Amino acid sequence: MNQPASPSEGVGCRPLLTVTGILLAFATGATALGLSILLRDDVSDVLERVGFVAYASGAPVSGLFAALAGGLPLTLYLDVLVWVLAAFGVVRLVERGRSLPRLVLAVIGVALVFGVAISTLVELA
């Protein structure tokens, strides 16, 4: 009755919406936290780095543009596209028998590592 989808059927709607919701909730929270820290007037160096890591983790395309061009650009459509594509990839792997929580945590971990890398790049420049 509840068989996994064959490759020709595509991904299921419920798992895709669940994973997309979880990843977008992380992205929204991380971006809001990062921007609220970075837009303060009196920020220490450590707190500024934590804020930029959160900002670049939640909004990876915006973080990349910030590292390359400076400032705090916010490219919401491209950032959402990255998270939706990541959710689609997670669901495809889940339908092949992988664990959903592990994959979602792995994607969030990769986003945090990306944020640290971008923050380090900005600090070195």
HEC string for the chain: CCCCCCCCCCCCHHHHHHHHHHHHHHHHHHHHHHHHHHCCCCCCHHHHHHHHHHHHHHCHHHHHHHHHHCCCCCCHHHHHHHHHHHHHHHHHHHCCCCCHHHHHHHHHHHHHHHHHHHHHHHHHC
- The pLDDT assigned to 46 comes to 92
List, for the chain, all residue ranges whose pLDDT scores fall below the cut of 50. Answer: 1
Q: Model's pTM, two decimal places?
A: 0.85
- The pLDDT assigned to 72 comes to 86
